[in-house]
Amino acid sequence: MQLSSDAVILRVWPVNEADLIVSFLTRDFGKLKGVAKSALKSRRRFGGALEMMTEVKATFVDRPRQELVRIDHFELIASPLRAPVNYARMTALSFFAEVTEQALPDRNPEELAFRLLTTVLDHATADHLWLSITYFSLWMTRLMGWLPDLNTCTVCTASVLDSGAWFHPSADGLRCHQHAMPTSASLLPESLRLAQQMLRCPIAEFAAQPWSAQRAADLRRFAIQALERHLERRLRTAEALRRLSTSVATASPSRMRLS
C-alpha cells in the first residue's frame, strides 16, 4: 500500500551499490526505516532531500512482514541548509537526530514529538541554538514520560522552587539541599522557573531573549542527563555539545555549591 506523510530525515547510510537506508520520523506513522533504491543516482526522486533534518513529504510503500518500507520519493519541504551551517549548528542538528532516533520506538505515531522536532528546527539558528537544544531536551524528556516532578524533593517532598535542587546521574528526581547525594549537580531556582515556563509556552515566546551557551546550562545538563539515564547510554552528540558549550564559555556559569 502506498502511503504518504510529512517527515523529517534522521539518518541516512549507504547499502549495496547505489541504494540508501533512511531512518525518518513521519507525522502519521511514527519513526520508520526504508530503502531508497538507486537514491544516489536519482535526483528526480530524492534531489536535495536526503540531508539529515530535511523536512519532506515522503511517499513510500509499506509491505506486509517487511521491516523496511520502500521509499518512492521525498519531496523537499524545508532544508536545514536554508540557514548557514557551522560546526555548532551541525552538532545541534545531529543531537536532535540522535535523540529522536534513540528515544522514539519504530512505527509508533507520536505527533507531539513530530511537532516538537519541526518547531525546534525552525528556531535552530545561530542566535537561538542553545535555546532550541534546551527546549528540545526538556520537552523530549517530558514526552517520553521521563521528566520527574520539578517542584519537590523526591525524598522529603519539600519544595525546591525557592532554594534550587540537586540531581545525580544515578538517581531519578530532584533533591533538596539536605538530601542531595555527593557529587550532585545543581539546578538554580531561576532555571526551575524557566523549565516551568518552557513546559507551558511555545518556543517562540523565548526567542526574543538573548541565548548564550551559559544560559540555563544547568537545565540543559539536567534534561540531557535524564535522557541518557533512561536511554541507558551516553549520547555521542551530547558529549560534543558539552565540549562546545565549554569552549564558547567566556565566563564560568554561576553554580551553587554543596556545603
Q: Which residues bind Zn ion (CB under 5 A)?
A: 153, 155-156, 158, 176, 179
Residue 240 vs residues 55, 93, 106, 220: alpha-carbon distances, Å: 24, 12, 26, 14
Task: Write down the least CB distance from residue 179 to Zn ion, Å.
Answer: 4
Residue (45 or 179) nearer to Zn ion, CB: 179
In this structure, the number of other CB atoms found within 10 A of the CB of residue 25 comes to 24
Place of cell 531508497: 36
Q: What does the angle CA 39 – CA 45 – CA 51 come to, to the nearest 5 degrees? A: 60
Give the HSE-up count for residue 233: Cα atoms under 13 Å, Cβ half-sphere.
8
Q: How far is the CB of 183 from Zn ion (least distance, A)?
A: 17
Task: Decide whether 50 or 155 has the Cβ nearer to Zn ion.
Answer: 155
With contact defined as beta carbons under 8 Å apart, do 147 and 160 qualify?
Answer: no
80 vs 164 by CB, closer to Zn ion: 164
Helix residue spans in 16-70 (DSSP H): 43-46
Is the CB of 4 or the CB of 163 nearer to Zn ion?
163
Least distance (Å) from Zn ion to the CB of residue 149?
A: 12
Closest chain position to Zn ion (CB) = 153
- Which CB atom, from 94 or from 184, has the smaller least distance to Zn ion? 184
Backbone angle region of 173, left / alpha / beta, with phi > 0 → left and psi within -120 to 50 → alpha: left
**CB nearer to Zn ion: pick between 150 and 224:** 150
CB closer to Zn ion, 152 vs 245:
152
| Whole-number Cα distances in Å, 12 to 85, 93, 124, 165 | 18, 14, 21, 40
Phi and psi (nearest 5°) for 236?
A: -55, -45
Please report how close the Cβ of residue 159 comes to Zn ion at its closest, in angstroms: 10
Cα distances (Å, whole numbers) of residue 32 to 9, 24, 108, 218: 10, 6, 9, 33
> Cβ of residue 171: shortest distance to Zn ion, in angstroms?
12
Q: What is the SS3 string spanning 51-62? A: CCCCEEEEEEEC
At closest approach, how far in Å is the CB of 253 from Zn ion? 24
Q: Distance (Å, rounded) from C-alpha 216 to C-alpha 205?
A: 16
Nearest-approach distance from CB 228 to Zn ion, in angstroms: 24
